[in-house]
Amino acid sequence: MRAGPSLPSPTGQRTASTTTTGVLMLVAELLGSLIGYADEKDGALVHEVHPVRGEEQRIENTGSVAFDFHTENVHHPLRPDFLGLLCLRRDHAGMAATRVASVREAAAHLDPRHVAILRRPEFHSLYPTSFTRGIHGERPASGPHPVLFGADDRLFMRFNSHNTQAVDDAGRAALRALAEALEHVSHDLVLAPGDLVVVDNHVAAHGRAGFTARYDGHDRWLRRCYSLRSVPRWAEEMMARPRVLPSLADIRGVL
């Protein structure tokens, strides 16, 4: 598959051809339903993942620093089941990797004591910065949740190394152990234009290697989409726009 050309927009951000949008929509619909979030990027269904000048240090898709392992939208009660990342362009050095790591592989490197702690519903996750651009002051956090859940041989994970927080030293040690185990089993993928990665958001964490942006119109550029297997009926009826999940302010207390 060949990616379409980039086009300048009035905001200075890049846009892409309808061809790549169609590919991502098709993949998302094969896996479930293509969705966006009202609180993130004004509900966009396809996200442009490229560096933005002045946001180099942001731990989100506009930055260029390393982004450690995380599951997507860890704070949200309706987290995507899958995310797709389509490469349109590599970084200049051709070395910036998309990093993935399975909790089911990492579990073999975890002490059972840490697994037991991570199963406790006592962790909190800060809203990611992509959801809080209009919020002043401290970022809000999710209600308490476990980091690991499911059967021992079919573990699932809800974790963000930057945003998931523990209530005590034992929990913090368990989070560090999980991050180290994920690092131990990680796979680094240097995507070429046209490569598409689909991540199971409940089993695999993903991240990004750091790179140097030049802002010359040829920086690293991926496109991202989310897929949810089943959208609850109440969420569909609360949507102001098709496929865009309601804001957390609207659904707080529902889940």
pLDDT for the residue numbered 184: 98
80 found inside a domain: yes
pLDDT for the residue numbered 1: 46
Strands annotated E in 77-178:
82-89, 98-102, 124-125, 148-149, 156-157, 164-165
pLDDT for the residue numbered 9: 35
Q: Residue 82's domain spans which residues?
A: 7-251
59 found inside a domain: yes
pLDDT for the residue numbered 17: 67
Residues 6+ positions from 32 with CB-CB distance below 8 Å? 81, 82, 227, 228, 229, 230
The first and second tokens of residue 173, run together, are: 């040690």
172 found inside a domain: yes
42 found inside a domain: yes
Rounded CA-CA distance 195/96 in Å is: 14
204 found inside a domain: yes
Cα-Cα-Cα-Cα dihedral sign, residues 37, 38, 41, 43: positive
pLDDT for the residue numbered 14: 52
H, E, C per residue of 222-238: EEEEEEECCCCHHHHHH
54 found inside a domain: yes
pLDDT for the residue numbered 253: 60
Rounded CA-CA distance 56/64 in Å is: 5
pLDDT for the residue numbered 5: 45
pLDDT for the residue numbered 10: 28
Q: How many residues does the chain have?
A: 255
Phi/psi at 208 (nearest 5 deg)?
-140, 135
pLDDT for the residue numbered 18: 77
pLDDT for the residue numbered 254: 55
pLDDT for the residue numbered 23: 95
210 found inside a domain: yes
pLDDT in tens, the chain (255 residues): 444 444 433 234 455 567 899 999 999 999 999 999 999 999 999 999 999 999 999 998 999 999 999 999 999 999 999 999 999 999 999 999 999 999 999 999 999 999 999 999 999 999 999 999 888 889 999 999 999 999 999 999 999 999 999 999 999 999 999 999 999 999 999 999 999 999 999 999 999 999 999 999 999 999 999 999 999 999 999 999 999 999 999 987 654
pLDDT for the residue numbered 27: 97
1 found inside a domain: no
- CATH number of the domain enclosing 120: 3.60.130.10
Number of domains in the chain: 1
CA distances (Å), origin 219, targets 52, 62, 63, 225 = 10, 12, 12, 20
Rounded CA-CA distance 183/177 in Å is: 10
Q: What is the pTM of this model?
A: 0.90
Rounded CA-CA distance 227/174 in Å is: 30
- On average, the pLDDT of the chain sits at 92
Chain-centre distance of CA 67, in angstroms? 10
Helix (H, G, I), strand (E, B) or coil at 123: strand
